[in-house]
Chains A and B, each alone.
Chain A
Amino acid sequence: MRLRAGISAALASAAILLVGWQSGAHVAESNASAVTTSATGNTGGTTSGTGSTANGSTGGSASGSSSGTGAASSSSTGSSSSTGTGSSSSTTLGASAKAGGTYAGTSVETRFGTVQVQVTIKAGVITDVTALHLTDQEQRSVQISARAAPLLRSEVLSAQSANVQTIGGATFTSDAYLTSLQAALDAAHF
């Protein structure tokens, strides 16, 4: 799952997120393996619509770190400014990061599920961000895991009017109420 589409947006927000990254404890040891990111979205380009998204990559940029700025600006992906990145660099990872390579982040639990990101760095520039673990098996982007997906009727909670306390439905008229399940419940609750 390539996140290219999302990267530019992601980098922009990465700048912001990195502030948090910096202040937080650093996972990055000399071996630079811990790139990762917190962040929910990642997701990549995620789907259309929405916008925002982003986040995910964060970690990515962090990694880039050392080379920092370079990463951000160059951003092969295009656009995105994200100055912030540079700063993070200071913290940095080991020399290996500077040289480049592929780094896998640790898995992070988010409200959308478990997320892990792999970042590829070449000459200090993030060239690719890949989501390794996504919430659903189909490897769809994570951000939209809260989206509405096709569901079989057998997959929803089965219910009978005897087991519920109220009934939701498209607005019924006063007349339609008389023959409605809600009317039966109300009568039973007298």
Chain B
Amino acid sequence: MQPTSKPNEPGQANKEPRLRSRTFTSMGTVVSLAVPAAPGTVPQAAVEELEAATAVVERLFNGLERTFSLYRPDSEASAMARGELALADASADMRRLYVEAAEWRTVTEGAFTAERPDGVVDLAGIVKGHAIREAGTSLLALGLKDWCLNAGGDVLVDGSPTPGSARPWLAGIVDPEDRTTLLTAFPLDNKGKHALATSGTSERGHHIWSTGLKIARDEGFRQVSVAAADIITADVLATAIMAGGARTLALATSHWDVDVLAVKNDGGLLATPGFRNLAPQNS
């Protein structure tokens, strides 16, 4: 509570944590890794550590892109789309992720699916989340304690922007009406929800399909953000709710420990209590 209210107070700007970040391009988007730039650390060593970690994450993303991208004719996914490779003969990574996507399809009652309407297997809805998850595991393995990984607007964090403190990473959420402003922010708390994923029609809307669910334009959502303990749950459910609408939203909030902020097509908001501003109001 305290940390989230802090940014609202004027005159605190100089207490904002100082960060350092590095970016790279992969999977058609930009990935950023940010770590605290704590005073007292040797700058050069800290920069090198960040750049080494970024290189590890970049290699991982690019490796997954080579396997799963349908934009690359030489990828395994493209070979499958052309019918040259059966799922049974695909790599272990491909099969594992396909199974995971199929399970999500079941538990979301078809709102999330890894099959395009034309029957081609497309794991795009889960590959980025998978890459973020794997990157997070690598960062932990590298011994990084405080970091924030943002891949095209999907976020996974660990620790705090102020090392050693309980202060959460605060993730702003873009207003779909105006990309240059923030709708709100969500504290990614070290104890609970580390991941935030957002799905929407404002940017790349074309990778969302669903099976047999038809939603009237005005009762659908324009943007859905889901905070969860892990990035796959957040990412898949955000996609599923975008596709499945209010029904899937109710399913998600009753079956998973998630916080959801949905922006309706008419501009209205639907939110779970975690998105409500808990800071004391000045009245």
Contacts and interface: CB of A to CB of B under 8 A. Distances in A.
Partners in one complex: yes
Interface of A: 47-50, 52, 143-153, 155-174, 176-177, 179-183, 185-186, 189-190
A41 to B, nearest CB: 10
Contact of B185 (A50, A146, A159): A159
Interface string B6-32: 011000010011011101010011101
B275 A156 contact: yes
Interface residues of B, number: 73
A70 B184 CA distance: 53
Closest 3 CB pairs of A and B: A170-B200, A169-B174, A163-B7
Given A166-B169, A167-B182, A171-B203, A151 B32 contact: no
Given A151-B276, A153-B183, A186-B32, A168 B269 contact: no
Contact of B172 (A153, A167, A173): A167
A168 B204 contact: no
B137 interface: no
Interface of B: 4, 7-8, 13, 16-17, 19-21, 23, 25, 28-30, 32, 34, 37, 128, 148, 150, 152-155, 157, 161, 169-174, 176, 179-180, 182-186, 196-205, 223, 225, 247, 249-251, 253-255, 260-262, 268-273, 275-279
A165 B198 CA distance: 16
Nearest to A163: B7
Contact of A170 (B20, B148, B153): B153
Contacts of B205: 170
A174 B203 CA distance: 11
B28 A173 contact: yes
Nearest to B156: A166
B203 A170 contact: yes
B250 A49 contact: yes
A153 to B, nearest CB: 6
Contacts of A185: 21, 32, 34
Contacts of A161: 172, 182
